[in-house]
Amino acid sequence: MFTYAMSVRRSAWGASRCATGVWLLLWLTSTSPGLAAAQPLQLVQFAEGRLTVAAHDASLRGLIEEISRESGVRLEGADALRGDVTVRFRRRTLEDGLALILSGWRYALTSESGQGPGGSTEPSLFRLRVLGPRKVSFRAPAATAPPADQAEHQPIRESSDGPGPLEVLLASDDLTVVRRGGLAALRDPDRGVRARAVNALAARGGDAAVTLLEVALRDAELGLRLDAIEALRRIGGDRAARGLTGALHDRSRPHRLRAVDALGAIGGPTAIQLLDYVQAVDRDETVRAAAAGELAVLRARQ
């Protein structure tokens, strides 16, 4: 067993090479299940403030350390990280990418400004401090909010006299509140809370909702994953189409078919690119045929 790791530096050539590498890695993990099962794979690129990651059964600690090296983030507490991770995404902000990778961990991502020559202020640098694994708490959330630099997630409960604050929370104009509240709800042990979160995110729309729905696409429950696919269909647009990438790699054929159908409904250049990819590499003939059909319809509209 060996680890395949590639680091691509910040340049136009590097970005192009990395994009090719990401799709090659996705193709390998989709079409060669035996190879993917036997060999951890990892690719990281950070360019123009955007993070691209493709990892299969990679060491979580190793992946975060590589992201730290590529992005220049100061990393603390990495020794606490345990286990392996499988994750794929392209050109996310550093904050959104880490939220997806470290969704089961407590951490703090803060910016720091240094003093340059002559008293000038240098550009902000980021510090990532890993606090430990996130523990599910069955207590009601505390009356006071957690410190602004800590990604603490507490389960959200229904009150005895009516609906809880979940929908109001996820409709907030404060994106930090939405991210923290959404992650807490999507990790709640109560399926009903997770389902309500998916519906509320579909109603909210926007990039923040799509990022959280990508987390829901990894839910252990089949029905919740289908709900997340439908939520992304409802939101629509290129960002939602990109959000369906994870569903295209779901082990369940019905889920991949539903994702293909959603891409056909969303349309646009990103949907066409993903459908072209699916028709070429999916291991199931039915899924490939469905992708080819949706692709033909979309191209006929152009």
Phi, psi of 62 (to 5 degrees): -60, -40
At position 20, the amino acid (one-letter code) is: T
Residue 296: the pLDDT is 94
Asked if the model's pLDDT at residue 154 lies above 70, the reply is: no
Q: Which residues, including other chains, have CB under 8 Å from residue 158's CB and lie 6 or more apart?
A: 164, 192, 193
Residue 83: the pLDDT is 87
Mean of pLDDT over the chain:
76
Residue 191 vs residue 13, higher pLDDT: 191
Token representation of residue 265 = 């409904």
Domains of the chain, first to last: 43-133 (3.55.50), 164-234 (1.25.10), 236-301 (1.25.10.10)
CB atoms within 10 A of CB 230: 18
Category of 52 on φ-ψ map: left (φ > 0), alpha (ψ -120 to 50) or beta: beta
Selection from 69-78, 159-168, 229-238 with the highest mean pLDDT: 229-238
Phi, psi of 107 (to 5 degrees): -155, 165
State how far the Cα of 76 lies from the Cα of 169, in Å rounded to an integer. 31
Give the chain's length: 302
Q: Where are the alpha helices (DSSP H) in 136-174?
A: 166-170
The share of the chain scoring above pLDDT 70, in percent, equals 71
Asked if the model's pLDDT at residue 152 lies above 70, the reply is: no
Residue 132: helix, strand or coil by DSSP?
A: strand
Cβ atoms of 130 and 81 closer than 8 Å: yes
State how far the Cα of 298 lies from the Cα of 302, in Å rounded to an integer. 7
Residue 234: the pLDDT is 95
Mean pLDDT of 267-290: 94
- Angle at the Cα of 103 (from 66 to 273), degrees rounded to 5? 75
Q: What is the pLDDT of residues 177-190, one digit of tens each?
A: 888 888 888 988 88
Q: What is the pLDDT of residues 246-262, one digit of tens each?
A: 999 999 999 999 999 99
pTM of the model: 0.51
